[in-house]
Amino acid sequence: MEKLTVTPIGTVHNEATPDTRSEDFRRLVSEIVVDPKYADGLTGVEENELLTVVFYFDRNDGECRLQLHPRGDESRPITGVFNTRSQFRPSPVGITVVKLKERKGNRLIVEGLDALDGTPVIDIKPFVRTFDTGEEINDPGKDRARRPH
């Protein structure tokens, strides 16, 4: 297979460290700073309550584990990496649905991002119920997780 090239569009800033517990990420507030040259791409993003953030696990040193204990917990049975959210993947890409708290220009304040401080963000997409949950929705104008008005 050919290698792919991706361009980071921004960076995560938060208080997370490699020791942050997975359950603590759910309440963690992060700031995603989007490179100013991509800021126009954020137009209208504040209409969404939920966003899908795609990021690069830049600290796994290229390590890939095809089988592992989920969350490194040896009391859990070994399973395949594609059955986990582990960073030790053939393509170290993470994806998380977050709650958008606020937009400030090229900065997004989000809750629930399970990425460490300094993590490169590859893409940001609106959470779209028809694609992201498989729900059948009759009204295509209401298929996004929009902020209540």
117 burial via Cβ count (<10 Å: 0-12, 13-18, 19+): middle
**Backbone phi, psi, residue 36, to 5°:** -55, -30
Percentage of the chain beyond pLDDT 90 is 48
**Each residue's pLDDT tens digit, 6-65:** 999 999 999 888 888 878 888 999 999 999 999 999 999 999 999 999 999 888 777 778
Give this prediction's pTM.
0.82
Please indicate, yes or no, whether residues 50 and 4 belong to a single structural domain of this protein. yes
Q: What's at 73, amino acid-wise?
A: D
Is residue 143 domain-shared with residue 72, that is, in the same domain?
no
User: What's the number of CA atoms in the CB half-sphere (13 Å) around residue 117?
Assistant: 10
Domain co-membership, 29 together with 77: no
Note whether 111 and 45 are same-domain residues.
yes
SS (H, E, C) 4-64: CCCCCCEEEECCCCCCCCHHHHCCCEEEEEECHHHHHHHCCHHHECEEEEEEECCCCCCCC
- Which residue, among 79, 69, 127, 141, has the nearest Cα to 99 in the 3D structure? 127
The pLDDT score that the predictor gives to residue 140 is: 47
101 and 84 together in one domain:
no
**Whether residue 75 sits in one domain with residue 29:** no
Question: CA distances (Å), 133 to each of 65, 89, 92, in order?
Answer: 28, 24, 23
Domain range enclosing 107: 1-57+92-149
- Given a contact cutoff of 8 angstroms between Cβ atoms, the answer to whether 52 and 72 are in contact is no
Instruction: Please give the tally of structural domains in the chain.
Output: 2
Are 75 and 130 within one domain? no
Last residue of a domain, one of 91, 112, 138: 91
Do 9 and 37 fall within a single domain?
yes
| CATH code of the domain in which 50 resides | 2.40.30.70
CA 28 to centroid of chain Cα atoms: 13
For the CA atoms of 140, 142, 146, 148, the dihedral, rounded to the nearest 10 degrees, stands at: 170
